[in-house]
Amino acid sequence: MADEVAVAAPGTSAAAAGVAEGEQQQQNGFSVFGMLKGLLIRGVIFYIIANFFRRPAPQTGDNPSSVGLKPASNLFQNGTMMDLYVYLSEDEKFSNFSDSTKLVWLQEELVYGDWSAGQDGDGTFVKQLEVPTSNAVRNNGSLFIHAYFVLSGKSPDPSTTKLYSRRYTVGKTHRLNKFKRKKHVMTQNLLTGQTAASADETRYAQNPKGEIV
């Protein structure tokens, strides 16, 4: 019995080897290209992140808009002599400095930064007074206190141009009285369906906001 032996033609073997070698070179080319592409993408991402967190360099030049901001500092230095003006008024925005009756407290020659001054040596000054209320205040009006700190010898009144300094005048306004809502409950007699509440109480009871007193 004759043995069957498969013999490949020489040309076929050489062609197969060439194809295999070409595929290997192509795979190597794709591998190198993929690696370079990955490195390039990583480099771009790193560049974007680095620029995002980079602190901008301070700008210089004669243009004021290009000058960097100066660090914050106190307006007054320790030891500065100051005066305190306190006014009472029914106006939220106070401007009647010429009315001496509005000035209820004037404390002169206060030392800025002195925490040992005052009646008790703790830097606190106290003023007690009785404030008469007008009909407007008693009828849901408001009463405001206006306090101003100025340099000693200066005035908080803008009309006194020689004594007024806008830069070195510090003021604060505070409302002394408070408002609260009063709720009204309208009850009815179950038998008659009538209520003992007045017309005003009924009107306030029907208003969800109630009455402001």
139-194 residue pLDDT tens: 888 999 999 999 999 999 999 989 999 999 999 999 988 766 666 565 655 555 56
The answer to whether the CB of 213 falls within 8 A of the CB of 140 is yes
Strands 144-151 and 81-89, how do they pair?
antiparallel
Residue 157 CA to residue 47 CA, distance in Å, equals: 58
Helix (H) or strand (E) holding 44, with range, is: helix 10-53
Low-confidence ranges of the chain (pLDDT < 70): 1-30, 32, 49-69, 179-213
Cα separation, 106 vs 86, in Å, equals 6
* pLDDT for the residue numbered 143: 92
Tell me how crowded residue 97 is: count the other CB atoms within 10 A of its CB.
19
pTM comes to: 0.55
Phi, psi of 39 (to 5 degrees): -65, -40
Residues 148, 146: Cα–Cα separation, whole Å: 7
Q: Report the distance separating Cα 74 and Cα 112, nearest Å.
A: 11
What are 88's two structure tokens?
A: 């009472």
Pair 104, 129: CB distance under 8 Å: yes
Contact 185, 179 (CB under 8 A): no
